[in-house]
Structure 1
Amino acid sequence: MKKHILSICALAVLTLTAFSCKDKAKEAETKAAEEAAVAEVASDTYTVNTAESSIAWKGYKPTGSHDGTINISNGSFELTDGKIASGTFTIDMNSIVVLDIPAEDEGNGKLAGHLKNADFFDVEKYPNATFEITGVTETEGKTMLSGNLTLKEKTNNITIPVTINTANNGLTLTSETFTIDRSKWDVKYGSKSFFDNLGDKFINDDIELQVTVKATK
C-alpha cells in the first residue's frame, strides 16, 4: 500500500512537471545589440496607435504569479512592398498596471509601486524602454522579428515569433507569448542570478510578455 501511494505521488509530480514545462513560454533568443534596420528604398510610414497598443506581462515566484500591462507611448514602422523594413516603438514604464489584484486593494498599489521603484525598473530614472527593429525573417513557416530591447539603459537583441497583418491602411503586429530573462537587463531584485540564500523568497528571472502593436498609414 505504501509503495502504491508513493507511486501515485511520483506520477502526480511527473505530471505536474510535464504540464509546467509544456505551458512555459519559450525564452526569446537573446544576444548582443545589433545595428538597427533601415528602409533603403521608397517606403510607407505607419504610425503606432497608442490607444490600441500594449504589452501584457506576467511574473512568477514560488507562491504564484502576478500579471498586468504596460503602455506603448509612441512609435512608427517603415514598410516596403507591404513588408516591415524598419521601425521602433517606445514603452512607457510609468504605465505599469497590475491586473490580477483588484484595483481598489492596497496590494495593487504596493506591487505597482514596487515594480516602478529602484528594486525593479526604476522608472523615475529610466521612464522609457525602447524596441528598435533590426530584422524580419521567415523561419520554418514563422515570421521572426528581431530588435534591440533597451531597459534601464541596458540593450540586448531579442528575436520573437510574430504575426503581421496589413489591411485598409492599417498594420497589426502581434507576438506569440515569450519570455525574457530580466537578469540580462540588470533587473536584480530577488534574482538567484545575483543573490544567494534566497530560499523560497526568490522571484523568477523569466518575465512573460506578449506584444500587440497597431499602426495606421
Structure 2
Amino acid sequence: MKKLSLVLLSVLFLSVGVMAKGVDDGKAVYKVDPIKSKVIWTGKKVTGEHTGTVLVDNGEVHVSGESLELANIKMDMNSIACTDLSGDMNQKLVGHLKSDDFFSVENHPQAVFEATGFKAGAADGEYIVTGKLTIKGITHELSFPATVEVNDGTVTANGTAEIDRTKYDVKYGSGKFFSGLGDKMIYDDFEIEFNLVATAEAI
C-alpha cells in the first residue's frame, strides 16, 4: 500500500467519475469521483450547531511517481444542504445560507480549493495540505492535516479544515462586527470535512 500526500478539501471539498491518464514520465491525472466522495460542513452558534453537505462539480489530482504535485476541487454552492433539520426549518436555513447574508450563491455559484503543497505530518500517512480557498470570489491561504492512501488503484483522502468565514465576507451574526447578539451569535469558524475517493483506470 502506498501512502501519498493529497488534499481534499475544500473545502471545501464532491463529484463525477474517476479516471487516471498515465504518461511516459510517470505522471497521472486523477478525476474526483463525486458519487463516492463527501464534503460535510459544520457551523456552530451559541445555542448549538448545524451540519450539512455540499456537492463537488469536479476536481483533479496531479501525481508524479509517488508524489502529489497539485490538486483542485470545485464545489457547487447551489447544492448546499442541511442534514440536521427537516421541513420548513430546513428550507429556511438553506435559503438563508444561499442569500447575501452568507454565501451569495446566485453571484458566486462555486467555491474552489487549489492545493499546491503537501508536507509530511506527525502521524503515519498524514500530510499537511497547503493551498488557496476561494469563496465569494475572495481567496485566502488554507492549511489543514489530511490522510491519503493509494491502494489497488483507488485514492482516498480524508481531512478537516477550519475556516474563518469572516475572511470571505460572511459576517452575519459575527461577534467581531455586531454587538449585543447574545445567544444569536454565530461563531466565526466553521469546519469542512473532506472524504474524497478517486479510482484510477490505467491507460
> TM-score of the superposition, structure 1-length normalised?
0.76
**Greater relative contact order (Cα 8 A, min sep 6): structure 1 or 2?**
2
Aligned to 1:196: 179
1:207 to 183, 190, 194: 190
3-state DSSP of counterpart to 1:69: strand
Task: Quote the offset at 1:160 in angstroms.
Answer: 0.7
Quick one: which amino acid aligns to residue 121 of structure 2?
A: T
Aligned to 2:122: 140
Aligned to 2:163: 180
Q: Does 1:161 align with 2:145?
A: yes
Partner Cα separation in structure 1 for residue 26 and residue 113 of structure 2: 23
Residue range with higher mean Cα deviation, 143-152 or 79-88: 79-88
3-state DSSP of counterpart to 2:35: helix
Percent pairwise identity: 39
Q: Does 1:119 align with 2:101?
A: yes
Aligned to 1:69: 53
3-state DSSP of counterpart to 2:166: helix
Task: Quote the offset at 1:42 in angstroms.
Answer: 4.6
| Stretches of 4+ aligned residues off by more than 4 angstroms | none
Is the Cα contact below 8 Å between 1:82 and 1:166 reproduced in 2?
no
Task: Quote the offset at 1:46 in angstroms.
Answer: 0.6
Q: Which residues of structure 1 form unaligned runs of 5+?
A: 1-40
> RMSD between aligned alpha carbons?
1.4
Partner Cα separation in structure 2 for residue 191 and residue 149 of structure 1: 21
Q: Which residues of structure 2 form unaligned runs of 5+?
A: 1-24
> TM-score of the superposition, structure 2-length normalised?
0.81
Alignment length (residue pairs)? 174
Task: Quote the offset at 1:94 in angstroms.
Answer: 0.7
Aligned to 2:27: 43
Partner Cα separation in structure 1 for residue 98 and residue 128 of structure 2: 30
Is the Cα contact below 8 Å between 1:46 and 1:170 reproduced in 2?
no
Task: Quote the offset at 1:199 in angstroms.
Answer: 2.3
Between Structure 1 and Structure 2, which shows a larger proportion of strand residues?
Answer: 2
Partner Cα separation in structure 2 for residue 211 and residue 92 of structure 1: 14
Between Structure 1 and Structure 2, which shows a larger proportion of helix residues?
Answer: 1
